[in-house]
Amino acid sequence: MDLGIKGKRALVCASSKGLGRGCAMALAAEGVDLVINARGAEALEATAAEIRAAHGVEVVAVAADITSEDGRARVLEACGQIDILVNNAGGPPPGFWPDWERDDFIKALDSNMLTPIALIKALVPAMMDRGWGRVVNITSASVRSPIGQLGLSNSARAGLTGYVAGTSRQVASKGVVMNNLLPGSHDTDRIKSLTEATMKREGITMEEAVAKRNASNPTGRIGTAEEFGATCAFMCSQYAGFMIGQNVLLDGGAFNTTM
């Protein structure tokens, strides 16, 4: 299926690895030129080279911390005209609710709420002027169903979700489609470190922790970055024009609910 976005240009934040990389790869497969970003230059350049080789699109790689003002400024400077924005950044660390202080919350809010909002404010007005744009914010299944040890993430992402709910409806008439994509467990470095934390906390082996994690999902497995990227690409496509302010949960049915 041709998603109708060949020749568009996307900024995919935090995309040298994992879910961001999956989104970048899927957009490139549709002929979308890219600006990709991560802090570590080596993995970022390797991903950029892989995408260029696989799909022949233009890929500009900017090594910068997207959660810092300076990092965002450098990324935006390299952007040019952006039609598609995929917001992403590393998630806050796991922990225990009485331990989190104001500074921990400020850091989480900066990374997972205020950074995507700053990028939306920087890029969406020009999309509205041109009458076409797509924004996908990578949040988390924890917005729908809280994960206790990820309280910092639950809180910051719920804040972004509230912002997107209102903002998406204010920009829709100008052709800008803004939604959130909520990953459940996917096979990335992030999930490896969370599984390791479970192993240590429960005093079990890695194999046991993986088996326990997989068994808890109706599909008996976790998702892949490719599956995640394909869903993101659809949400950025010409066909997503009537999908506004939605929270698309991609979790293999882990969240047990009728609707």
* Chain contacts with ligand NAP (rule: CB under 6 A): 14-20, 37-40, 43, 65-67, 88-91, 138, 140-141, 183, 185-186, 188-191
The distance of closest approach from Cβ of residue 129 to ligand NAP in the complex, given in angstroms and rounded to an integer, is 27
- By three-state DSSP, how is residue 8 classified? coil
Place of tokens 């470095």: 189
- Looking at beta carbons only, is 3 or 143 nearer to ligand NAP? 143
In the bound complex, what is the minimum distance in angstroms from residue 31's beta carbon to ligand NAP?
23
112 versus 167: smaller Cβ distance to ligand NAP:
112
Neighbours of 97 (CB within 10 A): 9
Are 154 and 146 in contact by the 8 Å Cβ rule? The answer is yes
- The distance of closest approach from Cβ of residue 18 to ligand NAP in the complex, given in angstroms and rounded to an integer, is 2
Query: Which lies closer to ligand NAP via its Cβ, residue 10 or residue 171?
Result: 10
Q: Which residue has the tokens 């989104």?
A: 23
CB distance 251 to 209 below 8 Å: no
Handedness of CA 126, 129, 132, 138 (dihedral sign): positive
Q: Which is nearer to ligand NAP, 71 or 171 (CB)?
A: 71
Smallest gap from Cβ 155 to ligand NAP, in A, equals: 13
Smallest separation, CB 35 to ligand NAP (Å):
12
Residue 122: other Cβ atoms inside 10 A = 17
Nearest to 191 by CA among 123, 236, 251: 251
Q: Which is nearer to ligand NAP, 12 or 171 (CB)?
A: 12
